[in-house]
Amino acid sequence: MKGEQYLLLPGPTPVPDRVARAMNRAMINHRGPEFQEILVSVTEGVKKVYGTESKLLIYPSSGTGAMEAAVVNFLSPGDNVLAVSIGVFGDRFAQIAEEFGAQVEKMDFPWGEAADPEKIKERLEQDKNHKIKAVLLTHNETSTGVSNDVKAIKEAAGDHPALFIVDAVSGLSVVELKMDEWGIDVVVSGSQKAFMMPPGLSFLGFNNKAMTAYENNSNCKFYWDIGVGLEYLEKGQNPFTPAISLYYGLEEALKMMFEEGLEEILQRHNNYRRMVRAAIREMGLKTLAADGCASPALTSVIAPEGIGANKIRKMMQEEFDIVLAGGQKTLDDVIFRLGHLGYVRQLDLISVLAGLETVLFKAGYHIELGSGVKKAQEFLIDMHE
C-alpha cells in the first residue's frame, strides 16, 4: 500500500499542512488594506531572512524570473559581466545576461566542485580599468549538490567596484548568507525551497549601489521594472495582480521559520547533510561533491557501476512512491539527487534511506541491509546527546 508521496527533490519541496491551510482562504482585494498589511509584513519577513535592511520586491514567478529581473534592472547591453558557474544554474544566469546584451565572460569550474575564490580574485585584479560591471554567482548549485563560499568570494574580490549579484534561490536559509554584512548587492531567491511553499513567488533584494546601477540602466523592461515595483510598494501594492493565495502561504511559512529560528534552520540542514552523507557512505556509495563544498540542501549520489541512476529513481518511485531528482546534462543517469531542504523531517530521511537500501539490494548491488539506516540512527542519537 502506498500513502502520501515522499517528495525528496531539491525543489519543489513538501508543503506543511499549516501553509496549505493558510492558502485555502477567500480572495481579497489586492488594492485594499487587508492585502497591504500582508504585503508589508511578508516583505519585512523575507528581508530578515536575507539579513538586509535594503529594498526587496516580491514577484509572481519562479526563481528564474527574479534572475531575469536582476539582469534587466542592473545590467545594460554591452556591460562586461563575469559569470561564475559550477553547474546548470550558473550557466543559466550567464545565458540570461547574454540574452539581454551583456558581454559575458564565463568562469567555469568542474561540476562537483565549488568556485575557487583565489581564481576569481586573480581575474578581478587583472581588471585594472574596472570594465567588469558585475559578478554573477550561484549560492547553492542544485544540479551538482555543491555550495559556493559566497563570503570568501566577496572578500577575495576586495574593493573591485563590480556589482555582486547572487542566485540564492535554493540556498537561502539553508546555507548561511548575510546580504548586508557581506556587502552583497543583489540577491535572488524563490518560494519553493527552504520557504516550504509551492512554486510561484520569487524575491529580489538590492542595495543602494544596485539602485545607482538601475538609475543608469538602459535595458528593456516592463513587468520586472523595480522602479515601478518600488512605487507601488510605497502604497502597499504590487504593480500587477499578485498571487494572493501564495502570499497567505508565505505569511504562514515565515511564522514557522521564525518560530524555529533562522540559525536553527541552518543547523538543521547542516545536520541533514552530515547524516545523509554518512549513511550513503556506509552503503558503499560515493557522492559527487566533497565534504568541504557539499550542499546542506541535497546530496548528489553517484550510482553504482552497472546500475543506472535513473533505474534507481524509477524503482524508488514505483515501489515506495519516493521521488528523487536525476542528474542533468552530462550527469544524466550518472547521479541521483536526494533533497533534504525545507519541510523535510528526520523520519522522512530515515524512511528514504531504508527504501534506497531495499531498491539497491533488489537491483543487484551488494549491500548489508540496514547499514545506512543504522548509521543515520546513530548520528541522530549522537546529535541529541
**pLDDT tens digit sequence for 40-76:** 999 999 999 999 999 999 999 999 999 999 999 999 9
What are the 10-residue block averages of pLDDT along the chain, 385 residues in total?
Answer: 87 97 97 98 98 98 98 98 98 98 98 98 98 98 98 97 98 98 98 97 98 98 98 97 98 98 98 98 98 98 96 97 97 98 96 98 97 96 78
190 vs 207: CA distance, rounded Å: 18
Q: Which pLDDT belongs to residue 3?
A: 76
Q: Which residues, 6 or more positions from 373, have their beta carbon under 8 angstroms from its beta carbon? A: 279, 350, 353, 354, 357
pLDDT per residue over 215-267, tens digit each? 999 999 999 999 999 999 999 999 999 999 999 999 999 999 999 999 999 99
Q: Which pLDDT belongs to residue 169?
A: 98
Quick one: how far is CA 148 from the chain centroid?
Answer: 12
Q: Which pLDDT belongs to residue 1?
A: 65
Residue 139 has φ and ψ, to the nearest 5°, of: -75, -50
Q: Which pLDDT belongs to residue 4?
A: 84
Cell numbers found for residue 37: 498589511
Q: Which pLDDT belongs to residue 320?
A: 96
Distances (CA, A) of 149 to 96, 119, 330: 23, 13, 24
Q: Which pLDDT belongs to residue 114?
A: 98
Domain with CATH 3.90.1150.10 in the chain: 6-12+262-384
Q: Which pLDDT belongs to residue 385?
A: 59
Picking from 379, 280, 296, the residue whose alpha carbon sits closest to that of residue 336 is 280
Top CATH class of 6-12+262-384 equals alpha beta
Domain with CATH 3.40.640.10 in the chain: 17-259
Could you tell me the pTM of the whole model? Answer: 0.96
DSSP structural state of residue 204: E
113 vs 87: CA distance, rounded Å: 9
CATH code of the domain occupying 17-259? 3.40.640.10
